Amino acid sequence: MALRSLIVALALSAASALVPASRPSAARSAVVVREGPLDAVGDALESFAAPPSDASLPSGSFGAVITGGAAGVGYAYADEFLARGHQVMICDIKDPASAVSALKAKHGPDAKIFGAVCDVSDTASVRAFAKQSQEKLGTVHYWVNNAALNGGRKPFLEVSDEAIEAVVKVNMFGVLICTKVAMELMFDQAGVTGHVFNTVGSGVRGGGTPGYVTYGAAKRGLPQMTDSLVAELEGKTQGYSWPPSSTPGAVNVHTLSPGMVFTDLLLKDSTPELRKFPFGVLAATPEEVARDLVPKMLATTGTGTFVEYLTRPRTLLKFFNRFVKQEKSDIIDDDGNVIKKDGVAYNEDGVRALY
């Protein structure tokens, strides 16, 4: 009861702090306000957790590149970009042909979805993929560094040397080289401002990541990398002039935080306790995250934006729905097991197949 009262108080405080003096901007999706006091709190949180409305997004068809796009949230990003009429190039360490076929089956044979094999930890592979992306899309407006590897949930001394190397090469070196190549590509696109989004994960806010020491350490470095690039792009590096004013195009870099997503990366080696909390309260499906983050990426201007799914309003909303309104997860049951629905395929870790 004390927890319920605390969450209500926090939600009311947050909702009142977020409500502007005038009516909410049309830039956010409309909500239906109901009469009960708890419903009013939920509606306010839902309104401020909502992504930008379609009417507020830039018009036109854009080219989006997504690494690690054959599964999980990367596949969901591709699906959402296509649903909005954009062109997409995905890559994966495995052949993404089946993912491309599934997206064409959903969006039509003329859907502008392309795929290629790419090892993001290999420079030559990344450069070849970037060249293919430009050939297929013509112009690359958005580059999403989504590919990741966590190496499994184990005590640090039980992680093999090879696994440590692989996790660092994918999550740190891979993002570095992909960002460098994407920036080079975008600077050469006359009259175009490109956006690079670097995906962060556990440990990004400074907490420890027991069981994922290497993954957390690699991900923790990405905001620093992005902040450094932002400073360089703003001309704040003493001793030399950069970026050059003569480049045909422009580039902005940002941080992307999908939060906890029901994918292999999250559920593999997880325990019932972790699945009950925090996963069962805060985690979301790949589709939910993509529906929220793709419009946020499209709406991003300037440089150095932190684009996240689990914003303060959304986090409060999830706690409010679970502990105040007593709404249960439709993904995780009370015992911490994945709820498997009839007619849906799942892998051995309980991850739902997206296609």
Active site residues: 215
Could you give the 3-state DSSP secondary structure of residue 199? strand
Cα atoms in the 13 Å half-sphere on the side-chain side of 61? 11
Helix, strand, coil percentages in the chain from 3-state DSSP, rounded to 5: 45, 15, 40
In terms of Cα–Cα distance, which of 53, 56, 49 is closest to 28? Answer: 53
Strand partners, 233: none
Residue type, 77: Y
Sign of CA dihedral 325, 331, 333, 339: positive
Could you give the 3-state DSSP secondary structure of residue 123? helix
In terms of Cα–Cα distance, which of 207, 327, 329 is closest to 278? Answer: 329
Sign of CA dihedral 63, 66, 67, 68: negative
State the Cα–Cα distance between residues 28 and 258, nearest whole angstrom.
19
Residues 6 or more apart in contact with residue 76 via CB below 8 angstroms: 285, 286, 287, 289, 290, 354
Could you give the 3-state DSSP secondary structure of residue 222? helix
Annotate 150-185 with b (16+ C-beta within 10 A) or e (fewer). Answer: bbebeeeeebeeebbeebbbbbbbbbbbbbbbbbeb
